[in-house]
């Protein structure tokens, strides 16, 4: 990614519209951003990060602060960034959510991305596209491109936990944490299932309904042998069940024989009682016969009304229709008179319409003329606007030409100055070659001494570890012996307890189930405190575990002893190569290194001075070719721009001639006056047109209404004549119906009112007839059936029957209760067997997942979780990249290493130490000075950047920003740091630095100067 242009408006300290053109700084590759504290230097980095990802470059600034405090309510806050990626230009524009004075609701955040062919809108959509294009997320981008203020040394001083969180964001190892948590959840799940299953086994066993003595003996924790013992006990219950079944069958047979005779007599008594009740009901119906005859006459009368209902309805409908027709005729006659009066008024207005139509045509001609005048004025205004825009472009081109000419002259002067310096390069290279040979020979010996010192430290560490492992083995061996003695003692007590339980059930003259003897002179005694079988099994497992642990500890001691001997052999070989005869110690190493350092100190200083001069001159020599090409390009740009200015002058002259000609030809007035006149004419035209249209419609509509009302009046007159004749005919038929069925019309109207209530009694009449006939038949049948029956007293026989039923029920209850207990016990035993096998399956899975979780969560010899183990591999690759740069910046003195020693129980694996080649000692990273820390942090940041780009694969990020950190460096360290950055520049990277260091201002030609004002910040670019 190569940044081309950054645009900000009302963004943080930059109130006004601000543009930073990075395109003009790409030829230099390295530029400095300087200015007073709080002026807005870091804001440039915030703007770039916000444009791409919607976040600030550092961790201490929030998006809510991006709105400038100096901005007016109407000013829009946004950042626009143009960049090149894979030879394609992209422009992204993003605005945050912010509140404005005078507005109740905030301005919502939005983002746009334009690639020249398509436009993407929306914060989520743009964020996804940027991550797809760049290949990194915001956390990786900050580590690769943005080294923000306050975070420069954050990773170098971080603890293992903090460094783990940083690397997790960079390399996305969250899935490994999820994996570890899934294992933890599985362990908890299977542990809970196992405990619940074990409790369920004991609870289900306690549900068995067996002999109380048996259940008392099996109250302790569940054991698999209990299932077989309970099965045998349940078979005893089955034998008892056979006896109960025989007793029930005998009692049931006796009850059935006596009950048949009893219920025959009881049925005869019931039938005689029923005959007596039916005779009484039949006599009651005979007494209601006169009342039912009167009800039959009323039903006949209302039935006649129902049969002639159609005639009655037609008679009433004809009367109603005749009256409605009379009312409609009167209403239409009034409407016809009203319409005739309205038509006379409209006819007079209709005759005046011809004059108004002539006025309408004249208005239409006037509107066309006004429109033509308006078009000419708009054409004139458009040409004038084009001329003004072109003139602004002409002025901008003039300014660009002058700026380019100034840059061309500065570049030409710098090329001449650099060429003079490069002429001294051959002589310096010859001197450097001789000096380099001397330094290499001495450094080779120094490296061998460092290596020997490191081997010596490792040998000492291995011996110490060998001693610790030996002590650990002795402790574990003693612990194993102690618990083995305890297990043997508890096992003996358990066996005695089993014998005591068996002895407690023995009785004199009864055979012993073990030896068969019927005489028991020396019974075994119960112990007071004995472990259960489950507790004894757990103790046995502890013995096995401790035995395994002491064997593993012995193997570790044996292997460690081999490591000690191997390292001692390597030390002796190096001593011979270095010709060291004396006994090794820290003092010997310090003295040897001190002697070498004194010899090579002056050589290295001389070498480094000449080496820096040669590197600097070679870079200048390499840049001279590019500068010559750039000079030629700028010369060509000047010529092309001069031609463009001449063309622009011709265009301006032509536009000026065109709009002047229009102005002189048409004497154009103000556009607003023409528009007002046109609007007035159009309003007058539409009003006149609407008036003509309304009069014509009303006139023709009134003619139609008069015709319709006249036709309706004739229709209603014909209908009235027809209805009058029908009404006379139906009146005659209605009177004939009254005379035939009723004494008078009043009697008819009375029956008509009571018609529904009479019909409601029809069902009572029908029920009376049906009930009387049914009771008569039923009475006759019962009289014939019971002629030989007589009533019998059954009280004594009922007592005998109840006694037999009670005996039958008691034997039935005893049999079925025992059967239910037997079946329930059998089902419980079957389920216990299944549950026990499931319990063992769960236990196997629980132990498997527990072992996996312990290993992945850091309970292993390395004291590293699975995630930290993976991240440590990435971290070592980062250190490899970082040490390449650190060795350059420290003249081969320092290198970073990951600590591998395991101490304590705390998780480790990402701690950092530094190797000092001058002393041959490993140092804590906290012991570095401020300048040394900056070099280590810069090298680690560069190493992380290189590692992430290799890890992401195929990403193109050719830009690096560094915010502060150079203030802690001396002159020589600044040279070394700039040398590394120049190497990155030569690898086609563009590097921006924020710093207050004056020496950087002198060494870096291209600078962005930020100035702080009362109404916000401003900036400008200076080039050396």
pLDDT one-digit tens code per residue, 698-710? 878 888 888 888 8
Write down which residue in 954, 978, 994 finishes a domain: 954
Whole-number Å distance between alpha carbons of 85 and 116:
13
CA 946 from centroid of its chain's CA atoms: 31
Contact 897, 915 (CB under 8 A): yes
Looking at the fold, whether 890 and 945 belong to one and the same domain comes out as: yes
- For residue 143, being part of any structural domain is answered with no
Instruction: Give the pLDDT confidence score for residue 262 in this predicted structure.
Output: 81
If you average pLDDT over every residue of the chain, what do you get? 80
For range 912-929, the mean pLDDT: 83
Distance, CA of 235 to CA of 240 (rounded, Å): 9
Predicted confidence (pLDDT) at residue 256 exceeds the cutoff of 80: yes
Residue 531 or 114, more confident: 114
Q: Are residues 889 and 980 in contact, defined by beta-carbon separation less than 8 angstroms?
A: yes
C-alpha–C-alpha distance, residues 872 and 881, integer Å: 14
What is the model's pTM? 0.43
Does residue 502 have a pLDDT over 60?
A: no
Contacts 24+ apart (CB under 8 A), 506-511: none
Residues 919, 993, single domain; the answer is: no
Contact between 414 and 627 under an 8 Å Cβ cutoff? The reply is yes
Residue-by-residue DSSP string for 267-286: HHHHHHHHHHHHHHHHHHHH
Same domain, residue pair 714 and 839: no
What pairing do the DSSP bridges indicate for beta strands 912-916 and 921-924?
antiparallel
DSSP bridge pairs for 112: 93, 121
Q: How confident is the model at residue 78 (pLDDT cuts 50, 70, 90)?
A: very high
Which among 580, 255, 552, 337 has a CA at the least distance from the CA of 445?
580
494: in domain: yes
Given 932, 954, 976, which residue is the final one in a domain? 954
Do residues 304 and 361 both lie within one domain? no
Residue 201: partners with Cβ closer than 8 Å, 6 or more residues away: 222, 832, 835, 836, 839
Confidence class for position 255, pLDDT limits 50, 70, 90: confident
Mean local confidence (pLDDT), 363-392: 78
H/E run at residue 110: strand 110-114
Distances (CA, A) of 769 to 227, 286, 774: 77, 11, 9
Residue 363 falls within a domain, yes or no?
Answer: yes
Q: DSSP assignment, residue 97?
A: -
What pLDDT, on the 0 to 100 scale, is given for residue 440? Answer: 74
Residue 564 has pLDDT above 60, yes or no: yes
Let me know if residue 4 belongs to a domain. yes
What confidence score (pLDDT) does residue 81 get?
92
Are the C-beta atoms of residues 11 and 77 closer than 8 Å to each other? yes
Distance, in Å, from the CA atom of 505 to the CA atom of 490, rounded to the nearest integer, reads 23
Pairing type for strands 146-147 and 894-898 reads unpaired
Exposure string for 571-593, b = 16+ CB within 10 A, e = fewer: eeebbeeeeeeeebeeebbeebb
CA atoms of 386 and 234, how far apart (whole Å): 110
pLDDT in tens, 642-659: 888 888 888 888 878 877
> Region 982-1011: what's the mean pLDDT?
77
Contacts 24+ apart (CB under 8 A), 873-878: 874/167, 874/171, 874/947, 874/951, 875/163, 875/167, 875/910, 877/947, 877/950, 878/940, 878/943, 878/944, 878/947
Three-class DSSP category at 246: helix
Region at 19 (left for phi over 0; alpha for psi -120 to 50; beta for the rest): beta
Query: What is the average pLDDT across 154-164?
Result: 76
* Of 652, 650, 654, the residue nearest 389 (C-alpha): 652
Residues 544 and 492 placed together within one structural domain of the fold: yes
pLDDT higher than threshold 90 for residue 661: no
Ranking 173-177, 291-295, 558-562, 906-910 by mean pLDDT, the lowest is: 906-910
Pick from 49-63, 738-752, 844-858: least confident: 49-63
Whether residue 676 is contained in a domain is answered as no
> Are 890 and 999 found together in one domain?
no
Chain center to CA of 988: 40
823 and 915 fall within a common domain: no
Dihedral (Cα; 195, 200, 203, 208), 10-degree rounding:
-150
When pLDDT is averaged across residues 995-1009 and rounded to a whole number, the result is 80
From 668, 692, 713, the end of a domain falls on 668
User: How confident is the model over 918-939, as a mean pLDDT?
Assistant: 80
Q: Does residue 79 have a pLDDT over 90? A: yes
If you average pLDDT over residues 910-922, what whole number do you get?
Answer: 83
30, 982 Cβ separation under 8 angstroms: yes
Per-residue tokens: 958: 């050719």
Query: Span 568-592, mean pLDDT?
Result: 79
Query: Where is average pLDDT lowest: 34-38, 334-338, 612-616?
Result: 612-616
**φ, ψ dihedrals at 40, nearest 5°:** 115, 30
How far apart CA 629 and CA 634 sit, in angstroms, is: 9
Mean predicted confidence (pLDDT) in 875-890: 86
Helix/strand/coil (H/E/C) assignment for every residue in 610-647:
HHHHHHHHHHHHHHHHHHHHHHHHHHHHHHHHHHHHHH
Taking Cα atoms as reference points, which of 382, 784, 407 lies closest to residue 627? 407
Say yes or no: 469 and 569 in one domain.
Answer: yes
Provide φ and ψ at 152, rounded to 5°: -65, -45
Rounded to whole angstroms, how far apart are CA atoms 742 and 751? Answer: 10
Cβ atoms of 57 and 146 closer than 8 Å? yes
Note the helical H segments in 107-224: 123-134, 138-144, 160-171, 174-206, 212-217
Q: Looking at residue 166, which CATH number applies to its domain?
A: 3.40.50.300
Specify whether 626 is located in the same domain as 768.
no
Task: Tell me, yes or no, whether 772 and 626 share the same domain.
Answer: no
- Judge whether residue 8 has pLDDT over 90: yes
CA gap 45, 8 in Å, rounded: 12
Cβ pair 958, 2 in contact under 8 A? yes
C-alpha distance across the termini of the chain, in Å: 26
Query: What is the rounded CA–CA span in Å between residue 21 and residue 6?
Result: 7
CB 863 within 8 A of CB 900: no
Lowest mean pLDDT among 24-28, 338-342, 405-409, 557-561: 24-28
Q: 523: which DSSP letter? A: P
- When pLDDT is averaged across residues 21-48 and rounded to a whole number, the result is 80
- Which residues have a Cβ under 8 Å from the Cβ of 713 and sit 6 or more positions away? 329, 332, 333, 336
Q: What is the pLDDT of residue 80?
A: 95
Please report, rounded to a whole number, the percentage of residues in the chain having pLDDT higher than 70.
89
**What CATH number does residue 398 fall under?**
1.10.287
What pLDDT shows up at residue 954?
52
| 3-class SS of residue 764 | helix
How many domains, the chain?
Answer: 6
Residue 526 located in a structural domain: no
Whether residues 493 and 461 fall in one domain: yes
The pLDDT of residue 149 is above 60: no
Across residues 683-689, what is the average pLDDT? 84
Within a domain: residue 341? yes
678 belongs to a structural domain: no
Q: Residue 83: which domain range?
A: 1-135+955-1024
| 151, pLDDT greater than 60 | no
Nearest to 202 by CA among 223, 216, 217: 223
As a whole number of angstroms, the distance between CA 590 and CA 108 comes to 66
Give the model's pLDDT for residue 985. Answer: 65
C-alpha span between 214 and 929 (Å, rounded):
81
pLDDT exceeding 90 applies to what percent of the chain? 2
Burial of 834: CB neighbours in 10 Å, binned 0-12, 13-18, 19+: exposed
On whether both 838 and 878 belong to a single domain, the answer is no
- Check whether 289 has a pLDDT greater than 90: no
pLDDT tens column, 802-860 = 888 888 888 888 888 888 888 888 888 888 888 888 988 988 888 888 888 887 887 77
Averaged pLDDT, 480-489: 82
């Amino acid at each position: 990614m190569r940044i081309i242009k950054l645009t900000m408006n009302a963004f943080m300290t930059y109130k006004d519209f601000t543009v930073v053109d990075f395109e003009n700084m790409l030829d230099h590759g390295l530029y400095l951003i300087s200015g007073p504290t709080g002026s807005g230097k870091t804001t440039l980095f915030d703007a770039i990060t916000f444009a791409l990802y919607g976040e600030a470059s550092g961790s201490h600034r929030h998006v809510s602060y991006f709105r400038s405090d100096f901005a007016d309510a109407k000013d829009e806050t946004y950042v626009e960034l143009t960049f090149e990626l894979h030879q394609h230009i992209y422009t992204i524009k993003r605005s945050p959510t912010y509140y404005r004075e005078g507005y109740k609701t905030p301005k919502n955040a939005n983002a746009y991305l334009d690639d020249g062919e398509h436009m993407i809108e929306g914060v989520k959509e743009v964020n996804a596209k940027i991550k797809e294009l760049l290949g990194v997320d915001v956390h990786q981008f900050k580590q690769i491109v943005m080294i923000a203020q306050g975070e420069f040394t954050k990773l170098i001083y971080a603890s293992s936990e903090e460094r783990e969180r940083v690397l997790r964001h960079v390399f996305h190892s969250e899935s490994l944490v999820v994996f570890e948590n899934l294992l933890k959840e599985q362990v908890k799940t299977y542990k809970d299932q196992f405990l619940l299953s074990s409790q369920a086994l004991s609870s289900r066993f306690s549900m068995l309904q067996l002999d109380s003595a048996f259940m008392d003996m099996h109250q302790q924790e569940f054991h698999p042998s209990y299932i077989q013992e309970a099965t045998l006990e349940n078979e005893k219950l089955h034998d008892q069940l056979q006896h109960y079944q025989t007793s029930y069958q005998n009692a049931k047979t006796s009850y059935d024989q006596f009950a048949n005779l009893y219920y025959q007599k009881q049925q005869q008594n019931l039938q005689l009682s029923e005959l007596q009740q039916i005779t009484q009901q039949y006599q009651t119906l005979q007494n209601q016969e006169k009342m039912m005859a009167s009800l039959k006459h009323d039903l006949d009368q209302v039935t006649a009304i129902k049969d002639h209902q159609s005639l009655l309805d037609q008679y009433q409908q004809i009367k109603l229709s005749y009256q409605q027709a009379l009312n409609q005729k009167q209403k239409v006659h009034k409407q016809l008179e009203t319409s005739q009066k309205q038509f006379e008024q409209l006819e007079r207005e209709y005759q005046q319409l011809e004059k108004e139509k002539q006025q309408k045509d004249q208005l239409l001609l006037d509107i066309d003329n006004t429109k033509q005048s308006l078009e000419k004025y708009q054409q004139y205004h458009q040409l004038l606007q084009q001329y003004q825009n072109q003139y602004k472009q002409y002025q901008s081109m003039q300014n660009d030409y002058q700026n380019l000419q100034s840059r061309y002259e500065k570049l030409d002067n710098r090329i001449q100055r650099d060429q003079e310096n490069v002429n001294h390069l051959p002589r310096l290279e010859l001197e450097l070659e001789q000096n380099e040979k001397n330094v290499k020979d001495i450094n080779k010996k120094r490296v061998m001494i460092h290596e020997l010192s490191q081997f010596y430290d490792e040998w000492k560490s291995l011996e110490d570890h060998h001693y610790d492992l030996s002590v650990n083995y002795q402790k574990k061996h003693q612990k194993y012996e102690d618990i083995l003695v305890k297990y043997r003692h508890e096992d003996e007590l358990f066996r005695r307890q089993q014998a005591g339980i068996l002895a407690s059930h023995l009785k004199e003259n009864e055979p012993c189930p073990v030896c068969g003897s019927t005489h028991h002179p020396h019974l075994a005694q119960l112990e007071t405190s004995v472990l259960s079988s489950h507790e004894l099994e757990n103790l046995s497992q502890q013995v096995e575990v401790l035995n395994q642990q002491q064997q593993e500890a012995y193997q570790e001691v044996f292997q460690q002893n081999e490591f000690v001997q191997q390292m001692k052999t390597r030390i002796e070989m190096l001593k011979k190569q270095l010709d060291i005869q004396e006994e090794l110690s820290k003092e010997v190493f310090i003295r040897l290194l001190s002697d070498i350092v004194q010899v090579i100190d002056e050589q290295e200083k001389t070498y480094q001075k000449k080496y820096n001069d040669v590197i600097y001159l070679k870079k200048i020599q390499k840049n001279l070719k590019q500068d010559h090409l750039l000079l030629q390009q700028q010369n060509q740009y000047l010529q092309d721009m001069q031609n463009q200015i001449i063309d622009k002058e011709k265009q301006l002259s032509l536009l000026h001639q065109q709009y002047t000609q229009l102005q002189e030809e048409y004497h154009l007035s103000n556009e607003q006056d023409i528009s007002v006149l046109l609007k007035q004419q159009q309003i007058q035209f539409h009003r006149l047109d609407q008036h003509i249209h309304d009069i014509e419609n009303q006139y023709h509509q009134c003619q139609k209404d008069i015709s319709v009302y006249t036709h309706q009046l004739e229709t209603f007159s014909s209908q009235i004549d027809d209805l009058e004749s029908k009404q006379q005919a139906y009146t005659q038929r209605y009177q004939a119906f009254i005379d035939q069925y009723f004494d008078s019309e009043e009697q008819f109207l009375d029956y008509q009112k009571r018609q529904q209530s009479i019909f409601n009694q029809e069902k009572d009449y029908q029920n009376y007839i049906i009930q009387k006939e049914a009771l008569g038949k039923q009475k006759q049948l019962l009289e014939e059936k019971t002629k030989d029956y007589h009533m019998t007293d059954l009280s004594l026989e009922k007592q005998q029957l109840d006694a037999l039923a009670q005996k039958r029920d008691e034997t039935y209850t005893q049999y079925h209760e025992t059967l239910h207990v037997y079946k329930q016990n059998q089902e419980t035993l079957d389920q216990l067997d299944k549950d026990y096998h499931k319990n063992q399956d769960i236990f196997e899975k629980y132990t498997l997942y527990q072992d996996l979780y312990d290993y992945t969560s850091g309970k292993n010899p390395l004291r590293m979780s699975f995630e930290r183990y993976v991240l440590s591999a990435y971290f070592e690759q980062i250190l490899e990249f970082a040490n390449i740069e650190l060795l350059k910046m420290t003249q081969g003195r320092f290198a970073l290493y990951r600590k591998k020693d395991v101490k304590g129980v705390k998780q480790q694996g990402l701690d950092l130490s530094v190797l000092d080649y001058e002393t041959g000692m490993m140092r804590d990273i906290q012991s570095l000075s401020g300048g040394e820390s900056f070099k280590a942090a810069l090298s680690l940041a560069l190493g992380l950047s290189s590692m992430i780009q290799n890890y992401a694969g195929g990403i193109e990020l050719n830009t690096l920003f560094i915010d502060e950190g150079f203030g802690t460096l001396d002159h020589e360290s600044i040279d070394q740091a700039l040398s590394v950055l120049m190497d990155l520049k030569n690898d086609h990277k563009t590097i921006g630095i924020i710093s207050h260091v004056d020496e950087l201002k002198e060494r870096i030609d291209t600078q962005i100067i930020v100035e702080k004002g009362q109404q916000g910040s401003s900036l400008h670019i200076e080039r050396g």
